[in-house]
């Protein structure tokens, strides 16, 4: 990075409590300090935000994934934005590497909310002027916002990691469902590999049942790609099916490591040899495993922040 190209004089990075480690990495890459901001709680449990110094006329970037505890982290983000707006900030960009409620993006039965749209409305109402996020569960969520959305993909970061390994031409990128084909194709293009598709159904929320696999996986190194690993049920069942159909080994790459309930235990006991995630969600010590590799999105996010700040094209980074 050539710092002479960019201007950081008016740039102000803030972070809540969701992922301060990622915020620090981004700040170090950009070459700025994280602005002094207290984000805590009052005695009654309400979120308290105090900004340490004047931010009048500043371009604010609030780094705050809405990961677990989802509602606490979301409220921190909204209240921080409101505080910045009332302190006469010039612009407020919400850097939300993991966007919560993204799987509630449509009505699948009567009397259901579209929570992803509600969260978008809340962010705009709180004063956000731009959103920067990573691998939305559904790209159409960008249309829920009436402000600019910069939508980063983790595929280049994954590709850099897997291109360091020699798979001898035996790698095949596998989409765990029909809806993830575009994501799989994107990574496959980076890795110059073919793709396969797992056809599955969900008998109940949070459960997946593999029906069939489209494509050739026999004697291949199968790399499953998904945006979220939550309970890990889909990945583990997919890995079992891939091994049953003759895959030599099974790897996985998922942008957001939610890893709820006993997901890590499932992964440790599964046919998956290695699962690669990013640091969009902080990985606590109790969820760490020899099978889990964490890659950082700090450089990718930092480059976008610098281009936004210096009014340069962001789309060039997506090519």
pLDDT of residue 178: 85
Q: Give pLDDT < 70 ranges for the chain.
A: 1-7, 201-211, 318-319
How far is C-alpha 191 from the chain's CA centre? 21
User: How does pLDDT run across 146-156, given as a tens digit for each residue?
Assistant: 999 999 999 99
> What are φ and ψ of residue 29, in 5° steps?
-65, -45
Would you please indicate which residues are annotated as catalytic (active-site) residues? 200
What is the pTM (predicted TM-score) of this model?
Answer: 0.93
Buried b vs exposed e over 181-218: b needs ≥16 C-beta within 10 Å? eebbebbbebbebebbbbebeeeeeeebebeebebebe
Can you read off the two tokens belonging to residue 157?
């970061």
Q: What does the pLDDT look like over 168-205, one tens digit per residue?
A: 999 999 999 888 999 999 999 999 999 999 987 666 66
For 89-105, b/e burial (b = at least 16 CB within 10 A) is bebbbbbbbbbbbbebb
Helix-strand-coil percent breakdown of the chain, rounded to 5?
35, 25, 40
Please name which of 180, 175, 225 lies closest in space to residue 197, comparing C-alpha atoms: 175
Distance CA 26, CA 296 (A): 10
């Amino acid at each position: 990075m050539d710092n002479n190209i960019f201007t950081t004089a008016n740039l102000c990075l803030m972070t809540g409590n969701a992922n301060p480690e990622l915020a620090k990495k981004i700040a170090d890459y950009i070459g700025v300090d994280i602005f002094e901001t207290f984000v805590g709680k009052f005695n009654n449990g309400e979120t308290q935000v105090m900004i340490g110094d004047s931010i009048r006329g500043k371009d604010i970037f609030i780094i705050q994934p809405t990961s677990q505890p989802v509602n606490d982290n979301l409220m921190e983000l909204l209240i921080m934005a409101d505080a910045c707006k009332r302190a006469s900030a010039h612009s407020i960009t919400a850097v939300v590497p993991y966007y919560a409620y993204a799987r509630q993006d449509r009505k699948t039965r009567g009397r259901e909310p579209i929570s992803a749209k509600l969260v978008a409305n809340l962010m705009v109402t709180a004063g956000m002027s731009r959103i920067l996020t990573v691998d939305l569960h559904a790209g159409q969520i960008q249309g829920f916002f009436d402000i600019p959305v910069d939508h980063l993909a983790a595929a280049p970061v994954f590709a850099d990691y897997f291109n360091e390994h020699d798979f001898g031409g035996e790698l095949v990128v596998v989409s765990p469902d029909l809806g993830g084909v575009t994501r799989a194709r994107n990574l496959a293009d980076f890795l110059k590999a073919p793709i396969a598709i797992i056809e599955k159904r969900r008998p109940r929320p949070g459960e997946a049942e593999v029906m069939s696999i489209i494509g050739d996986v026999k004697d291949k190194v199968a790399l499953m790609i998904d945006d979220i690993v939550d309970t890990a049920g889909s990945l583990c069942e997919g890995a079992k099916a891939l091994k049953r159909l003759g895959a030599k080994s099974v790897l996985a790459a998922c942008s957001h490591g939610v890893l709820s309930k006993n997901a890590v235990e499932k992964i440790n006991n599964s046919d998956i040899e290695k699962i690669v995630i990013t640091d969009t969600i902080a990985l606590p010590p109790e969820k760490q495993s020899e099978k889990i590799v964490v890659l950082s999105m700090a450089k990718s996010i930092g480059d976008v922040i610098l281009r936004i700040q210096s009014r340069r094209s962001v789309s060039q980074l997506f090519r």
